[in-house]
Structure 1
Amino acid sequence: MVLSPQDIHNKEFSTKMRGYNIDEVNDFLDQIIKDYQITIEENESLKSKNREITKELNYFNSMKDSLNQSIIVAQEAADKLKAKSQKEASIANSEAQKAADKILDDANKRANQTLDKASNQTKELIAVNDALRKSNQSFRNKLNDLLNAQLEFVNNENWSSAENSSNDALKSATDAINELDNPKGSRVNSKDKELSGDLKSTITFYPDGSFEIIK
């Protein structure tokens, strides 16, 4: 049992012969009581401070646990958000790649179609040009025959036989004109043309060897 200052104060000692001086003992006990009282008060103060510090420590420990838990929750949320963002970015990138591939494929298809169409048109133009060139050459040959026949007719003394040759040459020239008038191959019968008199067409020759038919 811990003694209190009051216990010390109330303590009584028995006396004996040649014992201690009672007054000195009492004075010393009074000093002890004072010092002990101070020690007790300081101890209580320290206990009170210790309780406060312990309370604050518990509070801070609680805050630390709460902060740690918050950090863990925030880290988990950040990891989830990062994973979600990466997934969405991957999906968006994949969709963008698919869209770009589709656009590129469509552009290639349109370009190939355009090239094929242009190639076909070029072939058709070449074929038409060849046909026109052949028709032109045929016309030039027949026209040359016509001119030669006319020249022969003028220089020939036998007009009747020369006239027949001239008519044949006119028929060939008329057929050549029909070929130019009907590029698809449809021809007009030379009998439908008036062979006597003018052919109702004017042929203009140029220095470069080309010519033009004006009806």
Structure 2
Amino acid sequence: MPLTPLDIHNKEFGRRLRGYDEDQVNEFLDQVIKDYEAVIRENKELQNQIFALQEKLDHFANIEETLSKTIIVAQEAADEVRNNAKKEAQLILKESEKNADRIINDSLAKSRKVALEVEELKKQASIYRARFRTLVEAQLELLSMDGWDKLETASESTQQAHRQTI
């Protein structure tokens, strides 16, 4: 067990002949007691400071650990968001490509349909022109026949008879 200032103060030395001066020894012991008490007080203060600093160190270590975990979680969240964004972008791109292919295929199908309709209309126009030409030629042939002169003369006679009756 360590020596206390009270132990030093209560220490009694045996007496001998031609021993040390008792007053000097007592003064010295009083000085030792004062110095020893000061050392004990300083030691206690230092221990309190060490304890306070250790608490602060533990607190900061805890904060550091929490921050480190938070940074890791934030990094993982950022990675997940980035990966999800890439996946979504790829899905949008694929969907856009499918829509573009569908639009192109629809346009090509409509273009083919329109081309077929145009060809059909050209054929119908050609047939119509041929029929119309045939009709016009037939009408011209009728007009060029001799029978029209007789119709004109008969028509004029009918008109004159009609005028006379009135």
Alignment TM-score > 0.5, same fold? yes
**Cα distance in 2 for residues equivalent to 1:119 and 1:112:** 10
Q: How many residues align?
A: 153
> Shift of the alpha carbon at 1:137?
5.5
Residue 196 of structure 1 corresponds to which residue in structure 2? 150
Residue 30 of structure 2 corresponds to residue 9 of structure 1: no
Corresponding residue SS for 1:19: coil
Residue 20 of structure 1 corresponds to which residue in structure 2? 20
* Structure 2 residues without counterparts, runs of 5 or longer: 154-166
Which structure has greater helix proportion? 2
Corresponding residue SS for 2:3: coil
**Cα distance in 1 for residues equivalent to 2:104 and 2:10:** 110
**Cα distance in 2 for residues equivalent to 1:98 and 1:46:** 76
| Superposed CA offset, 1:63-93 (max 9, x none) | 2222222222222222222222222222222
AA of the residue aligned to 1:81: V
Report % sequence identity. Answer: 34
Residue 155 of structure 1 corresponds to which residue in structure 2? none
TM-score relative to the length of structure 2: 0.77
| Superposed CA offset, 1:87-128 (max 9, x none) | 222222211221221122112211221122112212321333
* Structure 1 residues without counterparts, runs of 5 or longer: 147-168, 172-193, 200-215
**Cα distance in 2 for residues equivalent to 1:76 and 1:57:** 28
Residue 105 of structure 2 corresponds to which residue in structure 1? 105
Residue 57 of structure 2 corresponds to residue 57 of structure 1: yes
**Cα distance in 1 for residues equivalent to 2:126 and 2:89:** 54
Which deviates more from structure 2 when the two are superposed, residues 36-45 or residues 124-133?
124-133
Corresponding residue SS for 2:12: coil
| Superposed CA offset, 1:136-172 (max 9, x none) | 56665x479x3xxxxxxxxxxxxxxxxxxxxxx336x
